[in-house]
Each structure stands twice: as C-alpha cells, then as structure tokens.
C-alpha cells in the first residue's frame, strides 16, 4: 500500500542529506541567509521532489503573524469596490500578505461582527473602507488592537483637506470632485440643478453634498431644486425613486440637470427619465460619480467624476504593509484628487426652459 502521509521536514532533510535544523532554515524566508546558496538550493530541490509544503500555521505561530490582511468593504456588488480591491490585491503581491475580504452591507452591526471575526482569525492588520460617521469610537478601539488604514471613507472632521489627521487614511477629495461636476453643469447653462444625495451617515456623500452646495452658492442665478431627500442605499432603485420625486414637482421647479452622488443612482435617474418620456441629455442632463466599470457603455455614456479606485486600493495596502513593518507613515492622510470625465449625458438645457427666478 502506498504511503499517503504528507512529507515532513525530516523527510526533506534526509532527501537533501542535511540536518533537520538546516532544512528548516533553508526553507524559511527569514533565515535562509544563514545557510549557503548550495545548501539552500539542495533543500528546495528535495522539497520539490517530495512535494513538501511549509506549514503556514506553524510559521505564523512562531512569527506572531499570519500573513493575512483584513479588508472590510461595504458592498461587493458595487462596481467601484472591484476596482478598489484590484488595487489592494496588486500591492499585496509584493507585500507577502493575502487579503481576506469581508462585506458589511453598510450595516454598522455587521461591521462590528465581521471585524471581530477577522481579529479571531488573527489578521495582521485591516484596511477599512466601510466606516460610517458614527463608527469613530469603534475604530479607535480597533486601532488599539491592530494597524488600521481607513480608505475611501473617513470621519467628518478628517475629510476636510488640510485638517489635522487623527487616523491613518487614504481618501479622495469629494468636495472638490462634486464642485467640479456642478460647475460643469453651470458652465454649460443650467440654472435649475438638483442632487440625488447619498445617505448622510457616509462621509463621502457628506463631502459631495458640501461640494454641490459650494458650487450653487457661488452663482446667484443658480437654484438648488433638490427635494431634500436622500438615498437609503447606493443603488439603481434609490436613484430611480429620488428622480421620480423630482419629476413630481411643479414644472417650474423641475431640474434641467442632475448631480447624482454615485453612478448607480445616476443610472436609476436615467431609467426614471425614460419612464417619464424624457430624454437625456436633451431634456435633462445627468452627472454621476465614481466612473464605475462599463458606465461609459450605457446610453448615453455617463458624464461622471472618476475616483482613483485602483490607486486608493494600492495606497491603502502599501501604507498598511508599512505599518506592519513598524514604519511610521510620512503623512497620516493621503488625499487623492478625483478627475472629471465628460461624456454624452450632459449638454446645455433646452432653450425653451425658463429659469425658476423668472417664474417667481
């Protein structure tokens, strides 16, 4: 009967003709420099012949690390999340760590549950992209246990460019991104503009709301005709609902342009416009946010603000790996600039549309 037991380190040592301790050092990333190159090659060759694999669990117990980086995201179905995760994975290839991904569905209780499970699995650190504005106390406690990098979402005070950093963060300038988008709409002639707001419990949407308001304030002849409602979740369905609320307003208060806080809600707005017999951009222009994959393939291709998702992921992972090595970041906050992408979902308003001020 064949021997079905897995090969052991002792088997490798016998195959290579060396002591077990020598074989162990030759196969260790941290101690291979203690043996000669010839011995290291002979041991690795013997391990390959026998099919021996190092015991990662035993190594982690000896080193006090697991080689696993926890990554907490809000919604795996959001196309932006995919781009972010690819950036983290790309950086992880050189960081000798494997990302372990957990999803919260934007539920604060699930956030606490998945973080607890990650800690029980002894992750070395956490990249947290799903924090809400009320989670700061919990995050402070977490930072006392393992290195933590906040990515994409911070806390309200920390999202202001130039504000002092309390946490280690990799964020995007949502105030500037939103303001650029609304200034584009104003620049091509729109004077009645509404926003489809994300939930105020998420710092990214708070920043976009601030950027929208700043752009409106800078132009005395531009009116915000938003209803004041906000999305309960970042979805196509919520964008459709909010757009429907706007279309039920009196004709003189209906917007000629929409700024949606993310691309999914912008797609919902496009659906609602079609259902109402309206065209984009001929009747209503629409701008999204994120530049999610394939958003340039819809009809019409969506004008949007591109978040540097891949770079957000790479920077977050790189800083996390530095923290795990004991390095101190050169700056506690990295603030990346978004990029405005003009496509075919925006154009000047219909010439027959009167301004809201003319109707008062």
Which DSSP letter does residue 230 get? B
190 in the same domain as 41 = no
* 59, part of any domain: no
34 in the same domain as 136 = no
97 in the same domain as 31 = no
For residue 66, what pLDDT band results from cuts at 50, 70 and 90? confident
Q: Which residues contact 3 (CB under 8 A, 6 or more apart)?
A: none
What is the pTM assigned to this prediction?
0.79
238 in the same domain as 137 = yes
24 in the same domain as 113 = no
* pLDDT (0 to 100) of residue 197: 97
* pLDDT (0 to 100) of residue 121: 87
The number of distinct structural domains making up the chain is 2
Residue 184 CA to residue 342 CA, distance in Å, equals 9
* 307, part of any domain: yes
**Between these two residues, 67 and 359, which has the higher pLDDT value?**
67
* Strand partners for 304: 341
Q: Which domain holds residue 46?
A: 9-54
Mean pLDDT along residues 168-182: 96
pLDDT at 158 over 80: no
Mean pLDDT along residues 8-37: 84
pLDDT at 2 over 80: no
At 207, which CATH number? 3.40.50.2300
Residue 36 CA to residue 57 CA, distance in Å, equals 26
Q: What is the pLDDT of residues 230-253, one digit of tens each?
A: 999 989 999 999 999 999 999 888
SS3 258: strand
**Residue 140's CB: how many other CB atoms inside 10 A?**
12
**Segment among 43-52, 221-230, 313-322 with least mean pLDDT:** 43-52
């Amino acid at each position: 009967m064949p021997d079905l037991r897995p090969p052991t380190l002792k088997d490798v040592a016998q195959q290579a003709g060396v002591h077990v301790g020598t074989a162990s050092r030759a196969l260790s990333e941290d101690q291979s420099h203690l043996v000669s190159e010839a011995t290291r090659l002979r041991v690795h060759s013997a391990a390959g012949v026998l099919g021996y694999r190092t015991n990662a669990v035993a190594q982690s117990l000896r080193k006090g690390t697991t080689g696993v980086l926890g990554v907490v995201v809000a919604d795996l179905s959001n196309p932006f999340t995919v781009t972010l995760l690819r950036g983290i994975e790309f950086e992880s290839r050189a960081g000798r760590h494997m990302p372990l991904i957990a999803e919260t569905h934007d539920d604060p209780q699930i956030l606490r549950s998945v973080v607890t499970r990650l800690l029980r699995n002894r992750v070395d650190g956490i990249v947290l992209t799903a924090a809400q504005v009320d989670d700061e106390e919990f995050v402070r406690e977490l930072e006392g246990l393992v290195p933590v990098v906040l990515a994409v979402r911070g806390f309200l005070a920390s999202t202001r460019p130039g504000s002092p950093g309390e946490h280690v963060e990799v964020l995007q300038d949502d105030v500037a991104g939103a303001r650029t988008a609304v200034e584009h709409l104003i620049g091509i002639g729109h004077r009645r503009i509404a926003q489809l707001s994300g939930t105020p419990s998420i710092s990214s949407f708070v920043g976009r709301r601030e950027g929208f308001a700043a752009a409106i304030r800078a132009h005395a002849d531009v009116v915000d005709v938003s209803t004041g409602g906000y999305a309960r979740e970042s979805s196509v369905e919520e964008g459709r609902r909010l757009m429907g609320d706007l279309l039920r307003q009196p004709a003189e208060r209906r917007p000629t342009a929409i700024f949606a806080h993310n691309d999914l809600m912008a797609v919902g707005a496009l659906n609602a416009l079609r259902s109402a017999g309206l065209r984009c951009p001929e009747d209503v222009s629409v701008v999204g946010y994120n530049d999610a994959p394939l958003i340039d393939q819809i009809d019409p291709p969506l004008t949007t603000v591109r978040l540097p998702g891949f770079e957000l992921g790479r920077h977050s992972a790189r800083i996390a790996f530095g923290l795990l090595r004991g390095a101190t970041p050169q700056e506690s906050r990295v603030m990346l600039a978004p990029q405005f992408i003009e496509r075919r979902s925006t154009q000047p308003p219909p010439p027959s549309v009167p301004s809201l001020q003319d109707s008062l």
